[in-house]
A and B are shown apart, each in its own frame.
Chain A
Amino acid sequence: MNQKLYTFNGGVHPDVHKAESNATPIRTMPLSARYVVPMRQHIGEPARPVVAVGDRVLRGQMIGAAEGYVSTAVHAPTSGRVVAIEACAVPHPSGLFDLAVVIEADGEDQAIAYQPLDWRSLDPSALRNRMRDMGLAGLGGAVFPSYIKLNPGAQKIHTLILNGAECEPWITCDDRLMRERAPEMLRGIEIMRHALGCQTVLIGIEDNKPEALAAMRAAAPAEIEVVAVPTMYPGGGGKQLTYTLTGVETPTGGRSTDVGIQVFNVGTAYSLYRAVEIGEPLISRVVTLTGHVAQPGNFEVRIGTPLADLISAGGGMLPGASGEIIGGPMMGFDLMDLAAPVTKAVNCLIVKNPKFFPIKPIELPCIRCGACARACPADLQPFEMYWYSRAKDFGRAQGYNLFDCIECGCCSYVCPSHIPLVDYFRFAKSEIWEREREKRAADLARSRHEFKAFRLEREKQEKAEKFAKAAEKSKAAASSNADPTAPADPDAEKKKAILQAALERAQKAKESVAPKNTENLPPRVQKEIDEIEARRATVEATTETKE
C-alpha cells in the first residue's frame, strides 16, 4: 500500500461507459458451426499451417506451427474437419484478406489429451519453448509472443508489472476476469515470476474498479502488491503504467526490459496458468461485447468464432446501429466485414450508435493552441508533427520524434479543430516504414550488383590467367623439345609418348570415319554442292587478298 505513485504529463478523461458491460458475469458462448482461425494473430512471422484440407482436428490440436524466432503457434478451437486453408476476412484496419484455416465444427468438441507441466522443476528455456508451442501471445492488444517476453535474457529483470489498468473506455474484459478468476490468475503470475526470476511483482489496477482490486488483493499472497493507480486514459499504456508505478521512463526506441522491468497483461497471466497447469493452449479468451446490443457483457469466446456469432450471442444489434469497432473507441479500428473471426488480439467489439459515436465534425485548420501538446502522455508536440506530416515532409516529422508516439489518440480527442491527428501520424509512420523497406531493398540490390560486377571481373581474370598459363606451357613444351641436350627426365619422356600415341589414335579415327552422306548423292544435290564449293573457294581467295 505504501507504493509511491508518479504522475506522467498529459492524459485525458473520456467518460468510461464501463457500467454497460461490467455488471454481468462472463458468459461462455455456444459452439459455432464454422471457425476461421487466421495464421497471423501475433507480431512477427505468421504461423505455417501443418494440417491439410480434409484433416480431422481435435480441440487444442496445433494447426499452425511457429515460424522463425518471433512467432507462436495457432491451435484448433474445437474438434472438426478442416474444410479450407485460404485467404479469409480478418479483423484488420485495411479490410484485406489473410491466410486462415477454416474448420467445420462436428459438435463433439473432443479435446486432445492435455498434459499439465510441472513448471517448478522444468528448466526455464524448456518451459518457454512449450509456451511457444501453446500459442501464448499478449492479450492486452499488442499480441507479442509471450515466450520471448518470459526470457529475462542478458539484463536482470527486477520488477514484473501486471497491467490490469484497462484505461480504454467501454472495455471491461480484464475487470470481469480479475473479479471472477483472481486465484487462477495469481497462479499464472507465480509462473511468470519463476520464469523471469524477479523479486518484486506489482499489479496496477485503476481505482475505478474497486471490486477487481478487492478480489485481487484477497487472492494475492503477501509479497505481490496490488496497487490502485489513478483513473486516467492512457494510464494503462505499457510505458505509462511502468512510469506510474516505478518512476522509470522506458528509453526511447527501447523496451521496458532495457531498464529491468517486464510488463504483462493480466489476461495473459490467466492464459499462462491454463497453458501450464491445465495444459490447454490459447484457444479462447474473454471478449467484451458492448455498445448498441441487446445484452452487452463479457463472453469467453473461442479464437476463430465469427464476430457475427458473437453479436448474435449478445442478443443481436439494436436498430439504428452505425457500424462496429474492434478494440476500444480510442485505439480501435472500424470492422470492415462481420464474417471476420475473433483473434487473440480482439479484446472488445463495440457496436456504434450515433448517440455515443457521432459523425466526426468538419476538420478546421490547426491554431497551434497546444492543447494536444498538453494532453500528450509522451510529451511530444503533436501540432508540429502534424504540420510536417501533412506537408509530407517526413524527415522533419521524424525530427520531432514521430516514432515516440504511442497513437493513444489523446491529441485527436482534445483538438478543438477536430483534426484526426493520429491518422496523419499513422500515415507518416507507414510512409517512413515503406521508405525504409525500399532503402533496405536498394542497398541489397546495390551490393548484389557490385558483387556481380566483381564476379564478372574475377571470371575474366581467371580466364586470362588460364590462357596465359596454357600459352606458357605450350611455349615451355616447344622450348624443351627444341633443345635436345637438355637432360630428358624419364617421366617427361613417358608423358610425351602417351601423348604421341593418343594423337595418332585420334588421327586414325578421323580418317576411318569417312563422311558417309556425301558419296551416292543424286546429281542435283551434287551440282549444288559443287556450286557452294566454288563460291567458298572464291570467298577464301578474296579474304586472303584482304589480309
Chain B
Amino acid sequence: MISAILVMAAIGLVLGGILGWASIKFRVQDDPLVEKIDAILPQTQCGQCGFPGCKPYAEAIAKGEADINQCPPGGADGVNRLAELLGVEPKPLGEGLEAKPKSVAIIDENTCIGCTLCIQACPVDAIIGAAKQMHVIVASQCTGCELCLPPCPVDCISMQVIKEDVVNWKWRYPIHMMKRAA
C-alpha cells in the first residue's frame, strides 16, 4: 500500500517539475484576439450591443462576458464570422435585434439651429458645422449609428436608406430554376 502511494507521489513530482519548467520557458503575452474581433465588427460605434463602442464590445467578447450575436449592423454574416474566428457554433442575432438596411443621416437645413449637440454626439466626427452656423453630415463618413438623433433639440436629423444605384448594384443569387419549377 505504502509503495503505491510512494510511486504515485514520485510520478506526480517528476511531472510537476517538468510542467513548472515548461511554464517558465513558454511564458507568453496575451494574444491579439481583441484586434481580430474588432476587425470583424462594422465599427459603426452605435452602442446597440450595449457597449459604448466596437472596441469595448470586442474586449467583452474576448473576455467572454458578451455574446457574439449582439451586433445588429454586423448582421448574421458578422455573427458567422465571429463564430468562425472563435470556433464556436454560429447563433442567430439576439432577440429583438434585426439588421436594418444601411442608412445615412441627413440634416434638414431649414430647421437646424446650429446648436452643435449632434457634432459632439457623432462618434466619427462626420458632422461639419459650428455654433449658430449651418450643420451638414458628410454622407461618405456617416456610419448610420443614429446617435445624433436623440440630442437634436429640433429633430431636424432623419435617417435615409442608401438607394441602390448603377454603381453599388449587386448581381442577384441565381434563382434555382428547379426549385421554382417544383
Binding site for B on A (CB under 8 A): 40, 90, 92-94, 96, 98, 360, 362-364, 420, 423-424, 426-427, 429-431, 434, 437-438, 441-446, 448-449, 451-452, 455
B53 at the A/B interface (Cβ < 8 Å)? yes
**A444-B141, A445-B124, A449-B124 known; A362 vs B169 contact (CB < 8 Å):** no
B126 touches A426 (CB 8 A): no
CA distance A90 to B169 in the complex (A): 14
A-B contact count (CB 8 A): 76
B42 touches A427 (CB 8 A): no
B124 touches A438 (CB 8 A): no
CA distance A430 to B173 in the complex (A): 10
CA distance A449 to B176 in the complex (A): 43
A363 touches B172 (CB 8 A): no
Report A-chain residues with C-beta under 8 Å of the C-beta of B168: 434, 437
B43 touches A420 (CB 8 A): no
B124 touches A442 (CB 8 A): no
B166 touches A362 (CB 8 A): no
B42 touches A363 (CB 8 A): no
With beta carbons under 8 angstroms apart, the residue of A90, A424, A434, A445 that contacts B141 is A445
With beta carbons under 8 angstroms apart, the residue of B43, B126, B169, B176 that contacts A442 is B43
With beta carbons under 8 angstroms apart, the residue of B53, B172, B177 that contacts A427 is B172
CA distance A335 to B38 in the complex (A): 43
Report A-chain residues with C-beta under 8 Å of the C-beta of B125: 448, 451-452, 455
CA distance A96 to B169 in the complex (A): 9
**A441-B143, A442-B42 known; A420 vs B166 contact (CB < 8 Å):** no
Binding site for A on B (CB under 8 A): 38, 41-45, 53-54, 123-126, 141, 143, 164-166, 168-174, 176-178, 181
CA distance A445 to B166 in the complex (A): 25
CA distance A86 to B23 in the complex (A): 71
CA distance A430 to B172 in the complex (A): 9
With beta carbons under 8 angstroms apart, the residue of A94, A427, A451 that contacts B173 is A427
Report A-chain residues with C-beta under 8 Å of the C-beta of B43: 441-443, 445-446, 449
CA distance A360 to B126 in the complex (A): 49
29 residue pairs A–B, Cβ–Cβ below 8 Å: A92-B169, A94-B169, A96-B166, A96-B169, A360-B177, A363-B176, A423-B171, A423-B174, A426-B171, A427-B170, A427-B173, A431-B170, A434-B170, A441-B43, A441-B143, A443-B43, A444-B141, A445-B42, A445-B43, A445-B44, A445-B45, A445-B123, A445-B124, A448-B124, A448-B125, A449-B53, A449-B123, A449-B124, A455-B125
CA distance A291 to B147 in the complex (A): 57
What's the nearest-Cβ distance from chain B to residue A149, in Å? Answer: 22
Report B-chain residues with C-beta under 8 Å of the C-beta of A441: 43, 143
Report B-chain residues with C-beta under 8 Å of the C-beta of A434: 168, 170
Known: A430-B170, A442-B41. 10 other contacts (CB 8 A): A94-B166, A96-B164, A98-B166, A427-B174, A430-B169, A434-B168, A437-B168, A441-B143, A445-B124, A449-B124
CA distance A244 to B173 in the complex (A): 35
Report B-chain residues with C-beta under 8 Å of the C-beta of A92: 166, 169
What's the nearest-Cβ distance from chain A to residue B173, in Å? Answer: 5
Interface centre among A40, A424, A431, A449, by most B CB within 10 Å? A449
A364 touches B141 (CB 8 A): no
Report A-chain residues with C-beta under 8 Å of the C-beta of B178: 362-364
CA distance A96 to B168 in the complex (A): 11
B181 touches A362 (CB 8 A): yes
CA distance A420 to B177 in the complex (A): 10
CA distance A92 to B169 in the complex (A): 10
What's the nearest-Cβ distance from chain B to residue A230, in Å? Answer: 32
Report B-chain residues with C-beta under 8 Å of the C-beta of A429: 171
A448 touches B177 (CB 8 A): no
With beta carbons under 8 angstroms apart, the residue of A420, A446, A452, A455 that contacts B38 is A446
Q: Which residue of B lies closest to A433 (CB)?
A: B170
What's the nearest-Cβ distance from chain B to residue A93, in Å? Answer: 8
Q: Which residue of A lies closest to B122 (CB)?
A: A452
